[in-house]
Amino acid sequence: VPLQSVATIVQGRGYATINRIGARRTVTVTGDVDTSVANAAEIVADTRAMFLPQLKKDFPDIKVLLEGQEKETKKSMGGMIRAFLLGIFGVFIILSLQFRSYLEPLVVMVIIPFALIGVIWGHLIMGLNLSMPSIMGFVSLAGIVVNDSILLVTFIRRNVNRGISVSDAARQASRERFRAVLLTSMTTIMGLMPLMTEKSIQAQIIIPLACSIVFGLLATTAMVLLVIPALYTIFDDFNLTRKEGRAEIV
């Protein structure tokens, strides 16, 4: 029997497959990101603010789940935060054992948040978006920028133990260690400059990491010579610094 004699044929589009998760029908929306226009985080944020509220209002029973890069970014960020906190705790324990104090390590580590200033300005200057490699570079800075702080605090304590007042010892330590602090940071920055200026496609994912370290070091190099001595002096005003036996001056 000819099909047209028993049915009316109308051309149209139908479902090729019907996917379900937990017995609920699902629709997956995917897309590729043009990084020259926006990044994935901006697109997701705009979708959440401009599209999803109206969608949930029109269809109250609908449930939206973000997967793919958004899910992996959240997972990686959680692991990065845990690693950062663990690293900070490890640095604090090592410095506490070295300085035999629980407050002076805080003076050393206070420079770490200031590195974020350089990270943000560096990405603005280079025209880069903050991404996972950028955060990874900032986490790496936690173990790099404290080196200059350790030098300054060590020299401040050495000068104080020689009988010099804390305020004078802080100023003298900044002058004595200026060259060492500058050279320590500049050698690291110069070593990363070729990577940060690389134009190959393979290096594009690493450039934000190098940008975070370079500009973070630039910011902390300028601040460490001012912030650490000033904060150490403030701690001494409240009698919070540890004083060892001072040598007698004849």
Segment 193-242, tens digit of pLDDT: 888 888 887 777 888 889 999 999 999 988 888 888 888 888 888 877 76
Ramachandran class of 111: left when φ > 0, alpha when ψ lies in -120 to 50, beta otherwise? alpha
Is the pTM above the cut of 0.75? Answer: no
**CB 79, CB 55: distance < 8 Å:** no
pLDDT digits (tens, 9 = 90+) for 100-144: 888 888 888 888 888 899 999 999 998 888 888 888 888 888 888
Residue keyed to tokens 């049915």:
7
- SS3 state at 19: strand
Predicted confidence at residue 120, as pLDDT, reads 92
Contact 212, 71 (CB under 8 A): no
Q: Between the CA atoms of 83, 84, 90 and 91, what dihedral angle is there, to the nearest 10 degrees?
A: 150
| Residues forming beta bridges with residue 19, ordered by sequence position | 26
Q: Write the pLDDT tens digit of every residue in 28-73.
A: 887 777 767 777 777 888 888 888 888 888 888 888 887 766 666 7
Share of the chain above pLDDT 90, in %: 6
pLDDT band at 246 (very low <50, low <70, confident <90, very high): very low
Q: Residue 192: is its pLDDT beyond 80?
A: yes
- Is residue 157 within 8 Å of 244, Cβ to Cβ? yes
Pairwise CA distance, residues 90 & 106, whole Å: 13
Q: Which two tokens stand for residue 32?
A: 């590729």
> Above 70 in pLDDT, residue 244?
no
